[in-house]
A and B are shown apart, each in its own frame.
Chain A
């Protein structure tokens, strides 16, 4: 187990280097340090001297990937790529273009993101499992057919519609919750309610349908037939036998997104004006702030890899037959 974890974590390093190299190339092939300096300095104050000074201040006056003039290891380390990505592995993301510490910003913005994403995830999971179990219980009846049709309809509606429609109905027409905004502490409940509700509504169609197939697959197995043959009631079979066993593929399937919840939801946060990581990312994309985008890409990859490792571990926890080697 320990050896497995160590190997998986070591394997993450080349992947993270690859991620860095990819984002670095994507940005620098077209957006050279000179362009960045010009954009940051604004149109008026651009002189060759000012550009050089800006590049020196922000550490962009070195070769991109390979420094031919340096000696030994310096050939690789004395470059923009190394300087800008080495710190990432210690979660030191440097400063954004407007001079703020990215790591501190991320630590602060993580909580509002989590306040939206975590309840959405948990409530969504609960609702989807309940609906799926209901449909599986009434399988091959009109209720089941109608339920599946409703799920397909729900998943065909754009997320933007849920958000805009929800804001209009709940906030503007009924005045049940503020349209957007965020506050810390207990007050945050008012602001969180609507995004969570909409997030659940937007995701429930696809997940319910998926879990329903898992339940049905499980309900077709031999041990379920045995349970029925013993004379157990259908309810007891579904709740005691099928539900428990179907939770294995469901839980191991969702573990992978748990760490990524930290990143929040781009759409939700930007529509509801929540100062989380999702809106941070959108702002950075629109301002072409390379430092922030790269930090978010790195963080996203780390969390995703963490999710993959957690998935493997969760298999061993719920199913003793699986051994990690």
Chain B
């Protein structure tokens, strides 16, 4: 089957960020003084377990960012026609999750719909009852009797397979890591055993969960279905990409403003400082939500005016996501800018800067070569701390109506769609619970990782080590 790759604007941004991360890693590797704080991060078990969870999210997010348009099977005049629907590699891998929809709500691992309906029996009579699902547990002949046993059997097999794979993976990774050294002790003994034990436990828990879900997903809706019968597990996994884009692309927009203006204001002082301070005081004094709302409404009108620029609906939704990142970035840089200005003001009085000035080094060069490297730890700490705040903010903004496009799958849109269902009798809890649970996992992992990064990079915490 032929296909046509599509690179949406936020895809490009994600690839750019990944490339930048690799470039930074390559740069840091060769400089021991830059490697040192990362070593401290790598020794923290909370940080490494969070990193494991985050990298799983990242894999889903990246797979979901490789977009393409499949060719339509019907090609009447020899020309290949591409479907207007933009799919991602993740959609293809998820396969049945995307296409096997039900009529409406069904509970997790159910074989029947959640609501009673009129059903027609083969002999033409109409009865009330819970209709069978089209795909959830469709292989069972008598769900009431077989369901529990079948779920338990599949689940147990999945957990067992997951655990086996997890153990293999862990020791394989350890062997690769140790291959360069001569003596390779057992990973659970000796130096770093606490870290290794924590990692092993986390790997086992994660692989057991993934194994169970992977075993159950082909036959059931593991997390149920939503109002229009879409699989909640699929929606939750799709939301990850939106959260990652908002958390990372926003900082990419924010950084140039904050770093350039903050360092310039702090180092140059004078009228430059006055102007920059004025700009960030004006932006900072407007309540966040109002400023974001005003800017997002403006962006929406602009996108609607130029609707013909976007060939597919996925493109339009994506541009709106990008616009949200731009708005969040353009309104959120003031805090970091203020921090950097203060730090640059402190640094400019240091002897090494005065020496550079005495040598006649230009201001631009002093700022980039002498000040910027010494404020990078503040930038890094802010970026990692900001990520989780942004993921949480997306949900709130989508609720207010100034968030992502309604067609984009995101945690905010899921929560927004599901919150009214809490009032139903009997209560429909699974779309909301799934969205909150996955969001919590993402934010918690990001917060723990951010804490470790902050502890490792903060120069105020004096450490005695080489």
Q: Are B401 and A286 in contact (CB under 8 A)?
A: yes
Tell me whether B400 and A156 are in contact (CB under 8 A). Answer: no
Name the distance in Å between B10's Cβ and chain A's nearest Cβ.
Answer: 22
Which residue of the partner chain, among B291, B392, B395, contacts A297 with CB atoms under 8 Å? Answer: B291
Which of A15, A18, A161, A270 has the most chain B CB atoms closer than 10 A to its own CB? Answer: A161
Q: Is A30 positioned at the interface, with any CB of B under 8 Å from its CB? A: yes
Give Cα A23–Cα B283 distance, bound, in whole angstroms. 10
Known contacts A18-B282, A22-B286; A159/B294 CB under 8 A = no
Q: Please give, as numbers and ranges, the residues of chain A lying within 8 Å of B289 by CB-CB distance.
A: 266, 281
Instruction: Assess the B291–A152 pair: CB atoms within 8 A.
Output: no
- Is B399 engaged at the interface, CB distance under 8 Å to the other chain? yes
List CB contacts (< 8 Å) of B247-283 with chain A.
278, 281-283
Give the residues from 262 to 286 in chain A that come closer than 8 angstroms, CB to CB, to chain B: 263, 266-267, 270, 281-282, 285-286
Considering the complex, give the chain B residue whose CB is closest to the CB of A299.
B287
- B residues near A15, Cβ cutoff 8 Å: 278, 281-282, 285
In the complex, identify which listed stretch (A70-78, A109-117, A300-308) lies at the interface while the others stay far away. Answer: A300-308
Bound together, the chains give a CA A266 to CA B284 distance in angstroms of: 18
Q: Is the CB of A159 within 8 A of B396?
A: yes
A288, A296, A305: the one within 8 Å of B287 (CB): A296
**How distant is the Cα of A104 from the Cα of B358 in the complex, in angstroms?**
62
A9 an interface residue at 8 Å Cβ cutoff? no
Chain A residues contacting B285 (CB-CB under 8 Å) are 15, 19, 300-301, 304-305
Which residues of A are found within 8 Å of B59, using beta-carbon distances? none
Option from A27, A172, A286 in Cβ contact (under 8 Å) with B294: A27
- Cβ contact within 8 Å between B302 and A297: no
Q: In the complex, are the beta carbons of A156 and B293 less than 8 A apart?
A: no
Residues of A within 8 A of B356 (CB): none
Residue on B with the closest CB to A29? B298
Contacts A18-B278, A159-B392 hold; do A30 and B399 have CB atoms under 8 A apart? no
Assess whether A31 is in contact with B392, with CB atoms less than 8 Å apart. no
Contact pattern, B 291-317, Cβ under 8 Å of A = 1, otherwise 0: 101110110011001000000000000
Would B402 and A285 count as touching, CB distance under 8 A?
yes
Complex Cα gap A305–B278 (Å)? 13
At the interface, yes or no: A80 with Cβ under 8 Å from chain B? no
The answer to whether B294 touches A296, judged by C-beta atoms less than 8 angstroms apart, is: no
Q: How large is the interface on B (under 10, 10 to 19, 20 to 34, 35 or more residues)?
A: 35 or more
- Distance in Å: Cβ of A203 to nearest Cβ of chain B: 13
Contact between A297 and B286 (Cβ–Cβ < 8 Å)?
A: yes
Q: Which residue of the partner chain B has the closest CB to A167? A: B422
CB distance from B393 to the nearest CB of A (A): 10
> Chain A residues near B323 (CB, 8 Å)?
none
Cβ-defined contact, A156 with B281, below 8 A: no
Contact of B396 with A285 in the complex, beta carbons under 8 Å? no
Which residue in A157, A267, A288, A305 is a CB contact (below 8 Å) of B396?
A267
Kindly state whether residue A168 has any CB partner on chain B within 8 Å.
Answer: yes
Interface of B, helix, strand, loop or mixed by DSSP: helix
- Across the interface, which residues of B come within 8 angstroms of A293, CB to CB? 290, 293-294
Check if B415 is an interface residue, CB within 8 A of chain A: yes
CB proximity to B under 8 Å, residues A212-226: none
> A30 with B298: in contact, given A156-B440, A296-B290 (CB under 8 Å)?
yes
Distance (Å) between the CB of B369 and the closest chain A CB? 33
A29→B300 CA distance, assembly (Å)? 12
| CB of A153 closer than 8 Å to a CB of B | yes
How far, in angstroms, from A209 to B102 measured CA to CA in the complex? Answer: 45
A18, A23, A285, A300: most-surrounded residue (chain B CB, <10 A): A285
Supposing A15-B278, A158-B436 touch, asked if A152 and B287 sit within 8 A by C-beta, the answer is no
Specify which of A22, A27, A31, A158 is in contact with B282 (CB 8 Å cutoff). Answer: A22
Q: Within 8 Å CB of B284, what residues of A?
A: 304
Tell me if B286 and A267 are in contact (CB < 8 A): no
Residues of chain B within 8 A (CB-CB) of A164 are 415, 419, 422, 432
Q: Which of A15, A18, A158, A305 has the most CB of B within 10 A?
A: A158
Q: Which residue of B lies closest to A205 (CB)?
A: B447
Q: B402 to chain A: which residues have CB within 8 Å?
A: 285
Q: A258 → chain B, closest Cβ, in Å?
A: 15
B50 CB, min distance to chain A CBs, angstroms:
10
Min CB gap B303→A, angstroms: 10
Q: How far is the CB of A191 from chain B (nearest CB, A)?
A: 18
Which residue numbers of B lie inside 8 Å of A, CB to CB? 278, 281-287, 289-291, 293-295, 297-298, 301-302, 305, 388, 392, 395-396, 399-402, 411, 415, 419, 422-423, 427, 432, 436, 439-440, 443-444, 447-448, 451
6 smallest A-B Cβ distances: which pairs? A18-B282, A300-B287, A156-B444, A30-B301, A301-B285, A156-B443
A-B contact list, 16 entries, CB within 8 Å = A15-B281, A22-B282, A23-B286, A26-B298, A152-B451, A156-B444, A156-B447, A158-B392, A158-B436, A158-B443, A159-B396, A167-B422, A172-B423, A266-B400, A300-B290, A304-B284
